[in-house]
Amino acid sequence: MATIKDVAKRAGVAPSTVSRVLSGSTRISPETHERVRSAMRELNYHPNAIARSLAQKSTATIGLMIARPAEQALANPFFPELMRGIGSVLYGAGYNLMLSMVSSPDEERNVCLRLLRGRRVDGVILASASLDHKLVDDLVAEEFPFVLVGRVDGQSGITTVNNDNEMVGRMAVRHLIAQGHRRIGLIGGPSELTVSIDRTFGYRQGLAEAGIVWDGGLEAGGWFTKEGGHQALLELMDRPAPPTAVFAADDAMAVGALMALKERKLEHKVALVGVNDDPLTALVDPALSTIRIPVFDLGATAARTLLEMLKRDEWEPRSVLLPSTLVIRASSNWAL
């Protein structure tokens, strides 16, 4: 394939001149410019991005690490949507996206460091289920630019983009209170995940705001699965004073809870709110109210933040929290 030298020869100039034309340098006369341009056209020349990367010490590529047990990885619409958001910003800025789907923290660490150390990418976005602190430490130590996005542990000193999970809990509770409920149950997620912790905290805050005293008997939990939600709901309803409304910290759990409610013919007696705006929530009957997390924006913001860090190549850590939206559907759209 044609190189910059071929073009130079054909245009009767030095390679450096061609390079300058390429980079849109001023100080090139219009005639030379045109001669070089047409030489490029005639030779069907296209600059070699790899060579340019080497000389410029930057690849215009950023890495995205998606860490999940493989099967689960992309079943959840979260990741595709996140990728769309990231892509929309990156492509617009002339950057490329290098995707790595890994299934364990160890693998994530290896692959991520390999990409960065091999200078194959300029920075990475980490979308990890559970944070590998070793990896983060390495990234910080070797001064690689990176952004954490989505469900991650709170750790200061690094840049993160997340949705406001406390607010999620508060919004759900406020809505249910507005519908007249006072005994509001919680189906929380695994207590080791920050998502769960934050949403649970928000739920409690929401109650406190309304002057409702906390009642541990209204809280249950489990995994972010339909089964988890199903079981947790039954548990709640079998307690001495069952709730009249339930906030489930995830849509899968909410769907499970709804199944359980239907088994007991309670689907119109107990209000239900989930989180995520999973496509399923609009299809079940009654349709589930849910809190929509701005996943696309999460991705876009993460990408924008990372590009910003790269531009002024000094960065101080900052954390962005994005607001969510309440989507009211049949499962909670009635007053007590």
- The residues that touch DNA, with contacts defined as CB under 7 A, are 1, 3-5, 12-17, 19-20, 22-23, 26-29, 31-33, 45-48, 51-52, 54-57
Tokens of 266: 């309670």
Tokens of 120: 């194959």
Give the separation between CA 238 and CA 162, rounded to whole angstroms: 35
Of residues 328, 327, 332, 321, the one with CA closest to residue 161: 321
Contact predicate 259/290, CB 8 Å: no
Give the separation between CA 2 and CA 287, rounded to whole angstroms: 60
| Beta carbon nearer to DNA, 113 or 210 | 113
| Beta carbon nearer to its own copies, 28 or 73 | 73
| Beta carbon nearer to DNA, 24 or 279 | 24
CB contact set of 76 (below 8 Å; sequence gap of 6+): none
Span 117-176, contacts to its own copies by CB under 8 A: 117-120
Give the separation between CA 281 and CA 252, rounded to whole angstroms: 9
Q: Which does 84 bind (CB under 5 to 8 A by kind): its own copies, DNA, none?
A: its own copies
Least separation, in Å, of the C-beta of 35 and DNA?
Answer: 8
Enter the DSSP assignment of 127.
Answer: E
Is residue 70 classed exposed, middle or buried when 0-12, 13-18 and 19+ CB atoms within 10 A define those classes? exposed
| Beta carbon nearer to its own copies, 86 or 197 | 86
Q: Which does 120 bind (CB under 5 to 8 A by kind): DNA, its own copies, none?
A: its own copies
CA–chain centroid gap for 139, Å, is 19
| Beta carbon nearer to its own copies, 111 or 266 | 111
Stretch that binds its own copies, among 92-100, 174-182, 195-203, 237-245 (CB under 8 A): 92-100
| Beta carbon nearer to DNA, 12 or 317 | 12
Applying CB under 8 A, which of residues 3, 53, 155, 319 lies at the interface with its own copies?
A: 53
Least separation, in Å, of the C-beta of 336 and its own copies?
Answer: 29
Contact predicate 271/246, CB 8 Å: yes
Q: Which does 240 bind (CB under 5 to 8 A by kind): its own copies, DNA, none?
A: none
Tokens of 223: 């995994």
Q: Which does 205 bind (CB under 5 to 8 A by kind): its own copies, DNA, none?
A: none
Contact predicate 60/53, CB 8 Å: yes
Chain residues binding its own copies by CB under 8 A are 46-51, 53-54, 59, 61, 64, 70, 73-75, 77, 79-81, 83-84, 87-88, 91, 96-102, 111, 115, 117-120, 279-280, 283
